[in-house]
A and B are shown apart, each in its own frame.
Chain A
């Protein structure tokens, strides 16, 4: 699924023109991005929370050369799925075939 598919859903289910649907979808993701860029978390009930975390500087190693490198402090984005979303995904038990392909 891509942004275009989401636009299509809105067009079909809500009845907005494709242009309006696309504009709204664009706005939604732009606002979420801008909010996160300011370090503020975004909580979407029923879906999950996007949280910006501060990571301290640490020593790392280039896995290819073994060379030690300094990783600077940074801010990273994490997603914590809501219980509702996790439950929706697990309405049916995981089949053995699924577990084998993705586990």
Chain B
């Protein structure tokens, strides 16, 4: 499913809101999440998961074409940690069922 597919489905489920407005809302959701991460904020969506920016340390790399050594500066990378509810849903395990939590480590 793509973003336009998502907009389509949301519009179907909320017939009292126009599709154009639905589109604006979906875009605003991801824009505000992007902005939060840009400001170094952690995002926690209950039942879904959390997003956090982590730093990848600077390292020495090599240009695979020329073999030349290059310095790769430190970078920020977004990380997603799936929430317990969604993790179980994706795995097809009923919440609380046996084996549901054998690698669950959500804090």
Please list the residues of chain A having a beta carbon within 8 angstroms of any beta carbon in chain B.
1-3, 5-6, 9-10, 13-14, 16, 20-21, 23-25, 27-29, 31-33, 35-37, 39-48, 50, 52, 71-72, 74-79, 81, 85-86, 88-91, 93-94, 98-99, 102-103
7 contacts between A and B (CB under 8 A): A2-B45, A10-B32, A14-B25, A27-B14, A79-B51, A79-B78, A93-B74
Are A86 and B1 within 8 A (Cβ)?
no
A3 and B30 alpha carbons, distance in the complex (Å): 12
Contact-residue bracket for chain B: 35 or more
Q: A29-B45, A36-B89, A79-B80 are in contact. Are A45 and B3 (CB under 8 A)?
A: yes
Quick one: which of A6, A37, A40, A94 contacts B74, CB cutoff 8 A?
Answer: A94
Q: Other CB < 8 Å A-B pairs besides A6-B29, A25-B25, 6 of them?
A: A10-B29, A40-B1, A46-B30, A77-B82, A85-B34, A88-B37
